[in-house]
Structure 1
Amino acid sequence: MIFYRRVETKAILLGLIENYCFVKQFKISGRPKAMLTIVNYYKMSQDSKSEKSTYYTGEAKFSPVPMTVSSPAIKLIDKNKVRANAVEAMHMQAHQQIGMLRKQAELIMQQVQEIEDRLKISELIYQADMRFKPVMGQIYHLYEKEEKGKFLVSMIAPQEWGRSKAFSRYLSTIRLLSDSTWDVLDKASFNFEEFEEAIPSNQDA
Structure 2
Amino acid sequence: MENTKPDNIVFSEEKGYNASILPYATNVGAPAIKTEDLVAWKTRGIHQVNKEFENKFNELKQHYNKLMEEYEWNDLVYNAKFSFEPVIGEIYHLYTGEDGLHFLSLIGPTEWDKEHIATFKLNSDKKWIKYEASDRFSKNEIHW
What band does the TM-score fall into relative to the shorter chain? 0.5 to 0.7
1:173 maps to which residue?
119
The secondary structure found in structure 2 opposite 1:129 is coil
Equivalent position of 2:91 in the other structure: 139
The correspondence for 2:69, drawn from 106, 117, 127, is: 117
Preserved CA contact (<8 Å) 1:139 1:175: yes
User: Residue 119 of structure 1 contacts residue 181 of structure 1 at CA under 8 Å; is this kept in 2?
Assistant: no
Question: What is the match of residue 155 of structure 1?
Answer: 106
Unaligned runs of 5+ in 2: 1-24, 136-144
- Number of residue pairs matched by the alignment: 108
Structure having the larger proportion of residues in helix: 1
Cα RMSD for the two superposed structures: 3.1
How high is the TM-score relative to the length of structure 1? Answer: 0.43
TM-score, normalising length: structure 2? 0.58
**Cα–Cα, structure 1 residues 127 and 91, in superposed 2: closer, same or farther, change >3 Å?**
same
Question: SS state of the match for residue 46, structure 2?
Answer: helix
Task: Tell me: CA distance 1:76–1:135, structure 2 relative to 1, closer, same or farther (3 Å).
Answer: farther
Structure with greater proportional strand content: 2
Structure with the greater alpha carbon radius of gyration: 1
Deviation per CA, 1:116-167: give whole Å up to 9, x if none. Answer: 222122122112222322233433211122x2312221223222x1xxx3x5
| Residue ranges of structure 1 left out of the alignment (5+ in a row) | 1-63, 65-73, 190-205
Q: 1:143 to 1:100 in 2, by over 3 A?
A: same
> Comparing both chains, which one has the higher relative contact order based on Cα–Cα distances under 8 Å and sequence gaps of 6 or more?
2
User: 2:58 aligned to 98, 106, 124, which one?
Assistant: 106
Q: State the identity %.
A: 25
